[in-house]
Chain A
Amino acid sequence: MASQTVTVTVNGEPRTADVEPRLLLVHLLRDVLGLTGTHIGCDTSNCGACTVLVDGVSAKSCTMFAVQADGCSITTIEGMAAGGTLHPLQQAFWDQHGLQCGFCTPGMIMQAAWLLEQNGDPTEAQIREGISGNLCRCTGYVNIVKAIQQAAGELRAADAAPATAGAAAS
C-alpha cells in the first residue's frame, strides 16, 4: 500500500512519518511515535481510552486516520505535565483516587481537560455528561468526578490569581 507523509506536532514537538493511508491516528501515536500512554479499549469508538486533543479538540484517536491529522497539533497524556509539573487534573486524579487499573486514565484525563476548557465551572451532572464517552470499569466514576471538581477549582483559582494581583497593584 502506497505510503503518505504525515507531519504532526505532538506535545509541542514536530514529528514526521511515512504511513499507510489506513493507519489509525492511535497507531501512529503508539506504534510509530512510541507514545504508549494513549490506549485502545474497543473497536467501536465507545470506550474513549484513546482520547487525545487534536488542535485543542477532544478526539477519539481510534476513529481518525493519521493522515487526517496531517498538519495538526496533538496533545496526549505525555504532554500534560508541562516542565515535569503535574497538570492539576493529573494531581487531582492521584489525590482523589480517581484511578485504579489506570488503563482508562489517560483518555479520561484528556477528555476532562477538554471538558474544563469548554466549561471551567461544571456541575456534577455536566461532568458526568462530559465524560460519558469514556468508560471506566474500576472506579464507579465517583472519585473521577471528585478529581475533575478539584482540578476545576484549582484551574479557576489559577486563572483568578493574576487578575487579583493586578487589581491589588492598581
Chain B
Amino acid sequence: MGHAQAPTTSPEVGGMGHSLKRKEDPRFIRGQGEYIDDVVLPGMLWLDIVRSPYAHAKIKSIDSSEALKVPGVAAVVTGADLEKAGLHWMPTLMSDTQMVLPTDRVVYQSQEVAAVVATSRYAAADGVAAVYVDYEPLPVVVDPFKATEPGATLVRPDKGTDTNHIWHWESGDQEGTDAALAASDVKVAQDIYIPRIHVASIETCGCVADWDPVTEHLTVHMTTQAPHAIRTVFSLVTKIPEHKIRIKTHDIGGGFGGKVPVYPGYVLACVASITTGKPVKWIEDRSENLQADSFARDYHIHAELGATKDGKLTALKVKTLADHGSADAAANPSKFPAGLFNVITGSYDLPKAFVEVDGVYTNKPPGGVAYRCSFRVTEAVHAIERMADVMAHELGQDPAAFRLNNFIRPEQFPYKSATGWEYDSGDYHTALRRAMELIGYDDLRKEQTEKRARGELMGIGISSFTEIVGAGPSHTFDILGIKMFDSCEIRVHPTGSAIVRLGVQTQGQGHMTTFAQIVAEELGIPASQITVEEGDTDTAPYGLGTYASRSTPTAGAATAMASRKIREKARLLAAHLLEASPDDLEWTNGRWSVKGSPDRFKTIQDIAFAAYTNHPLGMEAGLEAVDYYDPPNLTFPFGSYIAVVDIDKGTGEVKVRRFVAVDDCGNIINPMIVDGQIHGGLTMGLAPALYEEIRYDEQGNNLSGTFMDYLLPTAVETPAWETDKTVTPSPHHPLGAKGVGESATVGAPPAIANAVVDALWHLGVRHVDIPMTPPRIWAILQEKGVTA
C-alpha cells in the first residue's frame, strides 16, 4: 500500500499518473460526437418494432395488410418470414436461445412481435400502429419461487422439459461449511432480495445495418461493447463468412453491460437490409429499452453466517434463486452461469463457505447482464457486506471494529479464498482506517448517540468490498468458447508518432486518452502524438470487448506488452545506430543510451525514423507490434466506503448526508479519469440502493417502463461524493493496475443499506431490501410506531 505514485514521465509525454485532459472531449463538447442515431446512409430505411402487450400469450394471427398500405411502409417482417431463413431464434451468450420474432407465442411483455420497415421513422411508427395481432392470453408466472413449483406454467416449452428450472451451480465445501456453521457460537441468517434493475445508458441501443448486394458484405454500425464477439456470432448464425461482416461502433453513449447482448432489433435490421437491399436503421425508444432489453440482478438470496462468540467469522452459506426471465441472456463466462458470485466471502478471512445458485425462467424479459459490475459481483458484495453488519450488530460490536478483526491481513496475500479464488493483493485495514479518519467516524458515532436520544434517525454504514475483475485467464474464462484474452496493436510511424488499435471498446471510459498514456509511459512517445482506435472489426485486433472492468487488466496489459516488444526492437535499432552492443544499452525516459555514457543515446523518435530509413541489413523494416494478453489471474480491486444517512420520520425519505469512498485500484493511469469513474460508479450504486427497480405486477406488466416510473438519480439526489485512494499494485499486471470502472457501483449499495439499517437497528430492524424508497421506509416506521 502507498499513496498515489508520482509520475515518472514529463507532463509533455503524459505517461501514467498524469491527469491528462481527455483527447476525446473536443468533439463531444462541440456536439460533434457521432452516436448511432447520427449515422445516416444514402437511401436508408427506418425499422420500428411491434411489441406484445401481454407477458404470455399465443399468437393466433398477424395481419400486416393495413400496415402495408401506410404511406412509406416498405415491408413488414414476421416470425414466419424469419423461420424460412432459420433466423426466428438466436443463441444468447449463455448458450441458451431466445426468439428474434415469435412464430406462435410471446413470453414477456414488450417482446418483439413484428418489424415494420419504412422510409422515415414516423412512417415506420405509423406502420407499427397498423399491424393487427390477435393474441390469446396464457397464464403468467412472474414469481421465480412459484415458477419452480410443480405444475407451474411453463415459460419455455421449446426446451422439451417440464420445468422452469434452468441450471444449478455450486461452489465451495458444503459439508465443511455445514459443520463449521453447526459449531459456531453465533449464527445469523437473512433473506436478501436484490431487485431487477436496468442500466439505462442515456443513449439507447440501435444500429444501421448495411448489406451490399454486389459484394455481399454486411456492415453493421451498432452500439456494442464487444464488436468482435458480435461479428463471430453474427457469422455463425447467419452463415455469412466472417470476413464479409464488419461491425463498426462509432461513439457509444454509455454501456454499463446493457450493450453486450445481441437484441432482436439488431438482427431484424440486418434481415431487413438484406431483404430490401438498402441500409436500415433501428433505434430504440427509452420505453422499449427499459421494457425489453436485458436487465440486471434479480437475485433472491438466503445467507447464513457463523462466528465465534468473540466475533471471528467461521463460515458462510448462501442459497440463491436467480430469476432470468424468459431466457438466460446473461453475458457471463461459459463456466460461470452465476458469474463470479462465489467471490461472496468478500474481504474476510472466512475459513469455510458454500454457495449455490439456481436459475429459473419467468415471463419477464431475458437477461442477467451486469449493471456496471463484473459478473454478479455486486450481488455477492451486497450479501456479504449486509451479513457482516447483521453479525456485528448481533454480537454488539461496532461494524468497523468487527471488519478490522475479520479482514484478510496484508501478509496473507496472495490469499486463497474458501471458494477457490486467489486474491492478488490487498490492504483492507488501511483503506477502512483511512475512510474512518476522513469521515470522522468516532465523532459521528457520538453524534448518532445524541441524536438517537432525541429520537432522530441517523445511521452510519460501512462497506469494505473486494471486487474480482479483468476476466480472464484462458484456462478458465471464455464466452461461447472464445477465450477472454484481449489485444493491442501498435504501429510507430517514421516521424515518431503512433497509432494504437485495441480489441476493447470505450463507452465513455476515456480509452483514447488512457491507452495513449500507457504507450507514452512505456515508449516515451507523447500521449498527444498517439491515436487510439477501437470499434472497427476490419482494422482492430480481435478482442472480447469492454465490460466487467476488463479493459485495463487485459487490453491495458496487452498495450504495455506490445510497447515492450517495440522497445526491444528499438534496442536493436539503437545498438545499430550507436554502434554498440544491445546488451550495453539501458532504457530511460524514452531513449536507449549506452550504459555509463548517458550522452550517447537515441530517442524513440530517432529510432522510429531509422526503422524506416536506416535499419540494419537482415532486420525487418518498421516498428510495430501486436500482443494478445492472457492474464495469469484476475485482479482484485477493493475499497472501504462509509455513508452517513438521515431519515425523515415524516416521509421515510433517506438522505445521504456524506459519503466517503476510499478506493484501491492498484497503480493509476489517469487520476482524473479514475476519480470520474468512481463518481459515476457511486451514483450507479446510490441508484439501486434508494431509487431504481424494474417492477412487475402479477400479469407481468412492467410498472417501471419509462423514466417517469424508473428514477435515475439527478444532481439533486446525488450527494457530493468525497473520494480518496490507497495504492496496492497488482503483482501480476504489467502496470500494477487493477481496473476501476465498476468498483463504486459494487461497493456503494451496501454502505447505504447498512447506514439505513444502522439508523433503525434500535427499533428492531435487522434488514431492509433495496431500493429503500420513502414508501418502504415509511411503512417500517409506521410498523415500529415512529411518528414525526
- Spell out A's residues near B (CB within 8 Å): 20, 22-23, 27, 30-31, 35-44, 46-47, 49, 76-78, 80-81, 86, 90-91, 93-95, 97, 99-106, 109, 124, 127-129, 131-145
29 contacts between A and B (CB under 8 A): A27-B121, A39-B253, A43-B706, A78-B30, A80-B31, A91-B29, A95-B21, A97-B672, A97-B675, A99-B25, A101-B251, A101-B252, A102-B251, A102-B508, A103-B33, A103-B202, A103-B253, A103-B508, A105-B28, A105-B33, A132-B715, A135-B202, A137-B256, A137-B680, A138-B680, A139-B680, A140-B676, A141-B715, A145-B715
User: With A43-B287, A100-B508 known to touch, is A142 a contact of B29 (CB < 8 Å)?
Assistant: no
User: With A27-B121, A138-B508 known to touch, is A41 a contact of B202 (CB < 8 Å)?
Assistant: yes
Is B531 interfacial (CB-CB < 8 Å)?
no
User: With A40-B37, A43-B285 known to touch, is A103 a contact of B679 (CB < 8 Å)?
Assistant: no
User: Across the two chains, which residue of chain B brings its CB closest to A41?
Assistant: B202
Contact indicator B29/A94 (Cβ below 8 Å): yes
User: Across the two chains, which residue of chain A brings its CB closest to B34?
Assistant: A36
Is B271 interfacial (CB-CB < 8 Å)?
no
Contact indicator A101/B507 (Cβ below 8 Å): yes
Contact indicator A49/B676 (Cβ below 8 Å): no
Contact indicator B707/A44 (Cβ below 8 Å): yes
User: Across the two chains, which residue of chain A brings its CB closest to B510?
Assistant: A100
- The interface residues of chain A lying within 8 Å CB-to-CB of B716 are 128-129, 132
Query: Which B258-299 residues sit within 8 Å CB-CB of chain A?
Result: 285-287
Contact indicator B715/A49 (Cβ below 8 Å): no
- The interface residues of chain B lying within 8 Å CB-to-CB of A145 are 715, 720
Most chain A CB within 10 A, of B27, B34, B202, is at B202
> What is the minimal beta-carbon distance from A36 to any residue of chain B, in angstroms?
4
User: Across the two chains, which residue of chain A brings its CB closest to B256?
Assistant: A137
User: Across the two chains, which residue of chain A brings its CB closest to B722?
Assistant: A142
User: With A43-B706, A97-B22, A135-B712 known to touch, is A37 a contact of B30 (CB < 8 Å)?
Assistant: yes
Is B407 interfacial (CB-CB < 8 Å)?
no
Query: Which B697-752 residues sit within 8 Å CB-CB of chain A?
Result: 706-708, 712, 714-716, 718, 720-721
- The interface residues of chain A lying within 8 Å CB-to-CB of B24 are 102
Contact indicator B676/A137 (Cβ below 8 Å): no
Q: Pick the contact of A140 from B22, B35, B682 — CB < 8 Å?
A: B682
Bound CA span A23–B21, Å: 39
Is B387 interfacial (CB-CB < 8 Å)?
no
> What is the minimal beta-carbon distance from A69 to any residue of chain B, in angstroms?
18
Contact indicator B31/A139 (Cβ below 8 Å): no
User: Across the two chains, which residue of chain B brings its CB closest to A93?
Assistant: B29
Contact indicator B33/A102 (Cβ below 8 Å): yes
A-B Cβ contacts below 8 A, count = 181
Bound CA span A167–B676, Å: 43
Q: How many residues of B contact A (CB 8 A)?
A: 57
Bound CA span A132–B712, Å: 11
Interface string of B229-267 (1 = CB under 8 A from A): 000000000000000000000011110100000000000
User: With A131-B715, A141-B715 known to touch, is A99 a contact of B28 (CB < 8 Å)?
Assistant: yes
> What is the minimal beta-carbon distance from B204 to any residue of chain A, in angstroms?
7
Bound CA span A19–B529, Å: 46
| Closest 8 A/B residue pairs (Cβ) | A37-B31, A101-B508, A103-B253, A102-B28, A140-B679, A77-B31, A46-B707, A100-B508
Is B190 interfacial (CB-CB < 8 Å)?
no
> What is the minimal beta-carbon distance from A167 to any residue of chain B, in angstroms?
34
Query: What would 17 more interface pairs be, CB under 8 Å, given A27-B121, A102-B508?
Result: A30-B37, A36-B35, A36-B38, A41-B203, A76-B31, A78-B30, A81-B30, A93-B25, A97-B21, A97-B673, A100-B254, A101-B507, A102-B24, A103-B201, A137-B680, A140-B682, A143-B679
Query: Which B499-546 residues sit within 8 Å CB-CB of chain A?
Result: 507-510
User: With A39-B203, A142-B721 known to touch, is A103 a contact of B22 (CB < 8 Å)?
Assistant: no
- The interface residues of chain A lying within 8 Å CB-to-CB of B681 are 140
Q: Pick the contact of B253 from A76, A101, A132 — CB < 8 Å?
A: A101
> What is the minimal beta-carbon distance from B20 to any residue of chain A, in angstroms?
10
Is B142 interfacial (CB-CB < 8 Å)?
no
Is B200 interfacial (CB-CB < 8 Å)?
yes
- The interface residues of chain B lying within 8 Å CB-to-CB of A94 are 21-22, 25-26, 29
- The interface residues of chain A lying within 8 Å CB-to-CB of B5 are none
Bound CA span A102–B33, Å: 7
Is B684 interfacial (CB-CB < 8 Å)?
yes
Contact indicator B31/A136 (Cβ below 8 Å): no
User: Across the two chains, which residue of chain A brings its CB closest to B38?
Assistant: A36
- The interface residues of chain B lying within 8 Å CB-to-CB of A47 are 202, 286, 707
Most chain A CB within 10 A, of B31, B38, B510, is at B31
Most chain B CB within 10 A, of A40, A86, A143, A144, is at A40
Bound CA span A148–B232, Å: 44
Query: Which B183-207 residues sit within 8 Å CB-CB of chain A?
Result: 199-204
Is B605 interfacial (CB-CB < 8 Å)?
no
> What is the minimal beta-carbon distance from A141 to any residue of chain B, in angstroms?
4
Contact indicator A142/B679 (Cβ below 8 Å): yes
Bound CA span A128–B25, Å: 23
User: Across the two chains, which residue of chain A brings its CB closest to B709?
Assistant: A44
- The interface residues of chain B lying within 8 Å CB-to-CB of A22 are 122
User: Across the two chains, which residue of chain A brings its CB closest to B684?
Assistant: A137
Contact indicator A106/B253 (Cβ below 8 Å): no
Most chain B CB within 10 A, of A22, A81, A106, A136, is at A136
Is B161 interfacial (CB-CB < 8 Å)?
no
Contact indicator B32/A37 (Cβ below 8 Å): yes
Contact indicator A103/B254 (Cβ below 8 Å): yes
User: Across the two chains, which residue of chain A brings its CB closest to B30?
Assistant: A81
> What is the minimal beta-carbon distance from B122 to any residue of chain A, in angstroms?
7
User: Across the two chains, which residue of chain A brings its CB closest to B683?
Assistant: A140
Interface string of B678-696 (1 = CB under 8 A from A): 1111111000000000000
Bound CA span A78–B33, Å: 11
User: Across the two chains, which residue of chain B brings its CB closest to A90?
Assistant: B29
Most chain B CB within 10 A, of A76, A97, A128, A145, is at A97
Contact indicator B29/A49 (Cβ below 8 Å): no
Contact indicator A140/B287 (Cβ below 8 Å): no
